[in-house]
Amino acid sequence: MKRRFVLAWWTSLLLPCAFGAPAADPFAHPVTDQAQLRAALSRPAAKLQKAQVLEGEFQHSRHLREIPRPLIATGGFTFVRDLGVYWHTRVPFDSVVMLTSAGLTQSDEGGAPQRISASEQPAVRLIANIFMSLFTLDTRSLGRDFDLYGGPQGDRWIIGLRPRNKAIAGVFREATVSGAEDVEQVVLIDAQGDRTVIDLRAITYSSEAPGANVRSLFAPAKP
């Protein structure tokens, strides 16, 4: 049950969106020189390296083969370096997922939180590491678990990811991350061929240490 809970959260959060995947196919261009890829990402990476806190809005749409219309959810997120990610879905229902190196916590509609610790389920720590690497465009870290593809596309960039790790491959087959000045879209194809797209908008950066109001988001919820 705990494993299904983790994988369901991961696939629903990191699958492709209503606006569709970028037109160019990044998987036609394997990355043979990570230095070139890092150069292509230098503008967004420079902002991310200085940021202690990122906040923004998201829309994610899950496209299932048996359902004609995508399942769409919207909300806001907060990423805090060295703390984790706070992901708050507001529509169509209220749900909070908090992911840290210590584990994962989810609460729906104000109900009792469900927790999985990284010590109980090693996959949680792996998911946390990947998610942090995506938010910071840490290609060195991503390159340990994925074959990398893509690069610059005009004034934009796109990275393709294909997992080497069997545990990750059991969750999704491939992913793309794209943007210009920011990470704007994450697209994943899961092991069954279903697709989810996440669009990130209105991202703000702060180089200041997180204040009490932000740190309180990561305080353990009362059961």
Beta strands 183-190 and 95-100 are: unpaired
- Evaluate if residue 189 carries a pLDDT over 70: yes
Confidence at residue 116, expressed as pLDDT on a 0 to 100 scale: 84
The whole-number pLDDT of residue 83 equals 86
How much is the pLDDT for 202?
A: 93
CATH of domain 2-218: 2.50.20.10
Are 57 and 201 in contact, with CB atoms under 8 Å apart? yes
pTM: 0.78
Please write the tens of the pLDDT for every residue from 93-133: 999 988 888 888 888 887 788 888 888 877 777 777 787 88
Three-class DSSP category at 157:
strand
Distances, alpha carbon 133 to alpha carbons 49, 65, 105, 191, 219, in Å: 12, 30, 20, 22, 22
Q: Give pLDDT, residue 9.
A: 43
pLDDT digits (tens, 9 = 90+) for 12-23: 444 333 333 344
Give the pLDDT of residue 112: 83
Instruction: Give start and end residues of each alpha helix (H) in 14-51.
Output: 34-40, 42-50
pLDDT of 92 higher than 90: yes
Of the candidates 78, 75, 13, the one whose C-alpha atom is nearest the C-alpha of residue 216 is: 78
* Predicted confidence (pLDDT) per residue in 137-188, tens digit: 888 888 888 999 988 888 888 999 998 877 777 778 888 999 888 889 989 8
**Distances in whole angstroms, Cα of residue 185 to Cα of each of 22, 60, 95, 134, 215:** 9, 9, 21, 11, 26
Long-range contacts of 178-181 (CB under 8 A, 24+ apart): 178/22, 179/44, 180/43, 180/44, 180/155, 180/156, 181/43, 181/44, 181/47
Average pLDDT for residues 197-217, to the nearest whole number?
Answer: 90
Element (H, E) at 10: helix 2-13
